[in-house]
Amino acid sequence: MRRNLLLLASSFTAAAVILAGCGESGSSGTEAPATSAAGEGCAPVAGDSLVVLTDDKNLQNTDNVVPAINKAASSPQMIAALDKVSAALDTPKLIELNKAVDVDRKSSKAAAQEFATANDLTSGIEKGPGGDVTVGAANFSENATLGELYGIALTAAGYQVKVQQIGNRELYEPALEKGDIDVVPEYAATLATFLSGKVNGDDAEDPSSPDLNTTMSNLKQLGEKVGLVFGTPSAAQDQNAFAVTSAFADKYGVKTLSDLAAKCSGAATVLGGPAECPQRPKCQQGLESTYDFKAGKFSSLDAGGPLTKTGLKQGTISVGLVFSSDAALAVG
């Protein structure tokens, strides 16, 4: 199960900040975008390409990719090598990595090696104390590819590396604490919330935040209690996001979730997502409370999966919940 599915529970959070690539209204001699009458909404518009609407009021939280490391196994050279990966990653690059695996059908190892070569990933990495290191990865392709990138960097630092795909967080996080694995590519907001529930109980205040520094500060404090340390978070984020087709964005002139609320609240607008979306504070409930967005109809589909993306492309929903690093968002 993708780690993002956990974010739909009321205590879990994510963020979505990819910019939608829409042209300016009326530019290049084109007509200005269509506008809907108050309360009319924006009917779905079919199209092959998808764009994410900017979360300009920070409904979601900061789920940046970050190295999580067993403290006893860590060294300055290990952390520095992993930080090289973080420095090379942003969300568009993560989307392209996912496209290489999920669309172009390359192996995670091959995609990671191509990325490492193209981004000169191993240049200047200092040798560490050496020894065996096991990189754990969750059981979805993006995390497996990130695990391979970590493996490449750590090999360059002089470690004997094994990359092992383990399963979900409930399986690999205890193994990381025990030292059965040494490193895992993690997601800051989700891990902070997970560790808080484990350390402080389910009723504890959520430590994740739309501010990355706040999320990381809280995550580091929680990590100290369970024997984990963290590298530098990357700019790459894999989190809940709301997408429309490029044709929809162009027709109605929407680039942000504020645009969507202002121009498309009304009867014709169809929101698509998992069945629990209407009750979740980071899905429909959050769109209403943070943006005052009112969809005319909700279509129960899936959590960023093929049903939602097909609904967008075929024009049966106006806006849908996706994941911000989905390969379907690749340009070209």
Residues 145, 8, single domain; the answer is no
In this structure, are 174 and 226 located in the same domain?
A: yes
> Does 75 share its domain with 189?
yes
pLDDT at 196 over 60: yes
pLDDT of 219 > 60? The answer is yes
**183 plus 88 within the same structural domain:** yes
In this prediction, residue 32 has a pLDDT band, given cuts at 50, 70 and 90, of very low
Q: What is the pTM of this model?
A: 0.86
Domain housing 120: 65-230
What distance in Å separates the CA atoms of residue 273 and residue 303, rounded to the nearest whole number? 6
Please state, in angstroms and rounded to a whole number, the distance separating the CA atoms of residues 266 and 166. Answer: 45
pLDDT of residue 13: 34
Identify the band that residue 162 occupies on the pLDDT scale cut at 50, 70 and 90: very high
Strand, helix or coil at 240? strand
- pLDDT confidence bin for 20, thresholds 50/70/90: very low
CATH number of the domain encompassing residue 130? 3.10.105.10
Do 269 and 213 reside in the same domain of the chain?
A: no
The pLDDT, as a whole number, for residue 319 is 98
Domain end (from 173, 202, 230): 230
126 plus 225 within the same structural domain: yes
Name the nearest CA neighbour of 322 among 276, 248, 270, 272: 272
pLDDT, tens digit (0-9, with 9 covering 90-100), for 293-327? 999 999 999 999 999 999 999 999 999 999 999 99
Number of domains composing the chain: 2
Q: 186 and 201 share a domain?
A: yes
Tell whether 78 and 208 lie within a shared domain.
yes
Residues 237 and 297: their CA atoms lie apart, in Å, by 29
